[in-house]
């Protein structure tokens, strides 16, 4: 008799974003069209940024637009997006490329189109919407450096009121279902035709983006824009999974299946939380090599050995206290459950194709 709990990512977001098939979260800086740089970050003062806004700022911007699956993104000119109450206009400094974006681009996750994807951003506050709460303006003054979360909580629905921002009704009902913000409208309109373009989260692959203020956090001066972009998706998904779903404790044995952006963040957080055995599972030696630097004590190449058996061997035949599936495939879903000791936890983070099913070993679960 065994009692592993299957935890469907505490962060629904968690699931919705990860689709770690990508198994790599890369970040690029909008230097090409923003001409931003770290030196600029360090030299930009609130007063200069205020001037930037008061002077009117640019009236248009560019963004990368997804039209339909199988076709390349195109750069298009847009009217400058304008924030409404309690929304913030951000000058984008960096935006990660997550596999969730790729799922949309490949047509594997249905989403309104045309749209601007990109949901892991850092940037600088350049404008607040009219009638915004004064506390929001005080917290994120024009010129402040921020990082955005891909789940953008409305702050007032039943879930947000209970502190479960990750389940925000408005985010899923409007942004994920319709590609808009919470008045049912996008903030993106093509410059030449006025055609509305939808937003995957904030639509981060753009020179500027509008973000509901509840999705922002101040980015400390000590953290660089580029490397910090993944905080809003890959890292916070991993943190939610390890801190809230898995509740990792010192001494735990942990297996992480799929060493991409989220999986590699899980390794680092597991190490920070004091896990004893941290087993990285992937099918690419290159990723397993990197995993060692990120805290893995053991590496398992599942294309060469039986991953479940190897995990059992490493843990004296018991299985791990916590197994994390950060890939999103039926096979690894089952491996995750099978790798867990009696009473342990299987934490599912990986997103996959719409409608995909995962098998569960019932007797191991019950
Ligand atoms: Zn993401
Ligand atoms: Zn909400």
Sequence-distant (6+) residues with CB within 8 A of 64 are 73, 74, 75, 76, 116, 117, 118, 205, 206
Domain termination residue (choose one: 232, 261, 282): 232
366 Cα: distance to centroid of ligand 1 (angstroms): 33
Same domain, 226 and 241: no
Q: How far is CA 40 from the centre of its chain?
A: 26
User: CATH no. for residue 306?
Assistant: 3.40.50.720
Domain termination residue (choose one: 180, 203, 232): 232
The number of the ligand nearest the C-alpha atom of 161 reads 2
Same domain, 31 and 56: yes
Same domain, 49 and 102: yes
Q: What is the pLDDT of residue 304?
A: 97
pLDDT in tens, the chain (366 residues): 344 444 433 333 333 332 222 223 444 444 333 333 444 444 444 444 444 444 568 989 999 999 999 899 999 999 999 999 999 999 999 999 998 899 899 998 899 999 999 999 999 999 999 999 999 999 999 999 999 999 999 999 999 999 999 999 999 999 999 999 999 999 999 999 999 999 999 999 999 999 999 999 999 999 999 999 999 999 999 999 999 999 999 999 999 999 999 999 999 999 999 999 999 999 999 999 999 999 999 999 999 999 999 999 999 999 999 999 999 899 999 999 999 999 999 999 988 887 888 888 888 887
Q: What is the pLDDT of residue 55?
A: 58
Same domain, 225 and 320: no
User: How far apart (Å, rounded) are the C-alpha atoms in residues 269 and 178?
Assistant: 34
**Assigned domain for 51 exists:** yes
CA nearest 146: which of 165, 166, 123, 163? 123
**Assigned domain for 20 exists:** no
With beta carbons less than 8 A apart as the criterion, state whether 312 and 290 touch: no
Same domain, 264 and 127: no
**Assigned domain for 21 exists:** no
Same domain, 154 and 188: yes
Same domain, 70 and 189: yes
159 Cα: distance to centroid of ligand 2 (angstroms): 6
The number of the ligand nearest the C-alpha atom of 157 reads 2
84 Cα: distance to centroid of ligand 2 (angstroms): 17
With beta carbons less than 8 A apart as the criterion, state whether 19 and 328 touch: yes
Domain termination residue (choose one: 175, 198, 232): 232
Same domain, 310 and 183: no
Same domain, 279 and 251: yes
Q: What is the pLDDT of residue 358?
A: 86
pTM for the model: 0.80
The number of the ligand nearest the C-alpha atom of 95 reads 1
Q: pLDDT tens digits, residue range 258-281?
A: 999 999 999 999 999 999 999 999
Q: What is the pLDDT of residue 31?
A: 37
The number of the ligand nearest the C-alpha atom of 118 reads 1
Residue range of the domain that includes 124: 26-232
User: CATH no. for residue 158?
Assistant: 3.90.180.10
Q: Give me the number of domains the chain comprises.
A: 2
209 Cα: distance to centroid of ligand 2 (angstroms): 20
Same domain, 185 and 290: no
């Amino acid at each position: 008799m065994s009692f592993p709990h299957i935890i469907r990512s505490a962060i629904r977001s968690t699931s919705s974003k990860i689709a770690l098939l990508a198994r790599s979260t890369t970040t690029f800086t909008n230097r090409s069209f923003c001409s931003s740089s770290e030196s600029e970050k360090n030299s930009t003062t609130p007063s200069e940024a205020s001037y930037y806004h008061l002077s009117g700022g640019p009236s248009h911007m560019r963004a990368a637009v997804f039209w339909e699956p199988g076709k390349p993104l195109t750069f298009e000119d847009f009217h400058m997006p304008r924030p409404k109450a309690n929304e913030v206009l951000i000058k984008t400094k960096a935006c990660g490329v997550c596999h969730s974006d790729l799922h949309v681009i490949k047509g594997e996750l249905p989403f309104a189109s045309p749209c601007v994807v990109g949901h892991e951003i850092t940037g600088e506050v350049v404008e607040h919407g009219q009638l915004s709460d004064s506390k929001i303006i005080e917290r994120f003054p024009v010129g402040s450096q921020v990082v955005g979360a891909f789940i953008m909580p409305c702050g007032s629905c039943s879930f947000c009121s209970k502190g479960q921002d990750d389940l925000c009704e408005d985010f899923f009902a409007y942004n994920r279902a319709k590609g808009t913000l919470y008045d049912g409208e996008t903030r993106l309109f093509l410059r030449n035709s006025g055609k509305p373009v939808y937003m995957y989260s904030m639509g981060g692959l753009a020179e500027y983006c509008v973000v509901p203020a509840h999705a922002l956090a101040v980015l400390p001066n000590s953290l660089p824009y580029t490397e910090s972009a993944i905080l809003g998706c890959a890292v916070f998904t991993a943190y939610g999974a390890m801190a809230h779903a898995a509740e990792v404790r010192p001494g735990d044995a942990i297996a992480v299946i799929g060493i991409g952006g989220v999986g590699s963040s899980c390794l680092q957080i597991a190490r920070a939380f004091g896990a004893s055995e941290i087993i990285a599972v992937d099918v690419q030696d290159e990723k397993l090599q990197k995993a060692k630097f990120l805290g893995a004590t053991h590496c398992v190449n599942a294309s060469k050995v039986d991953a479940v058996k190897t995990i059992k061997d490493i843990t004296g035949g018991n299985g791990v206290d916590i197994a994390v599936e950060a890939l999103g495939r039926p096979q690894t879903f089952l491996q995750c459950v099978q790798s867990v000791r009696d009473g342990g936890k299987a934490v599912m983070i990986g997103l996959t194709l719409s409608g995909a099913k995962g098998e569960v070993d019932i007797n191991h679960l019950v």
